[in-house]
């Protein structure tokens, strides 16, 4: 089943390069800083937010997989911080510029 995953992250005492490294690491997992709609419009998500559609057996399984992958990326790059992962089924997303 397909699940929509949103990750918001922060890196303690980070440099711009640290954030660029994490965006690359998260891209490997299948999460991006930009999304393309069904109408082929591309939007950029707010800073330190990535999202994407991932397959898995349950929302909890996808959450655990993403949490583990993100934790491994932090460890591999000797980074510390906070991560929030949200996973939902039967999803839709929208974008507005107020």
Is-contact 73 36, C-beta < 8 A? no
For residue 97, pLDDT beyond 90: no
**Rounded Cα–Cα distance for residues 34 and 83 (Å):** 18
Q: What is the pLDDT of residues 44-92, one digit of tens each?
A: 999 999 999 999 999 999 999 999 999 999 999 999 999 999 999 988 8
In 1-98, which ranges are continuous DSSP H helix? 16-29, 59-76
**Rounded Cα–Cα distance for residues 86 and 98 (Å):** 24
In the chain, what are the domain boundaries? Answer: 2-88
- Whole-structure pTM value: 0.89
What's the CATH fold of domain 2-88?
A: Alpha-Beta Plaits (3.30.70)
How many beta carbons lie within 10 A of that of residue 63, not counting itself? 18
Element (H, E) at 72: helix 59-76
């Amino acid at each position: 089943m397909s699940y929509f995953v949103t990750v918001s992250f922060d890196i303690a005492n980070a440099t711009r390069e640290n954030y660029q490294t994490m965006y690359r690491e998260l891209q490997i997992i299948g999460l991006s800083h930009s999304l393309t709609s069904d109408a082929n419009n591309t939007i950029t998500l707010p800073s330190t937010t990535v999202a994407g559609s991932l397959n898995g057996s349950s929302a909890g399984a996808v959450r655990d997989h993403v949490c583990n992958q993100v934790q491994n990326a932090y460890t591999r790059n000797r980074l510390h911080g906070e991560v929030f992962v949200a996973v939902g089924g039967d999803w839709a997303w929208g974008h507005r510029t107020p």
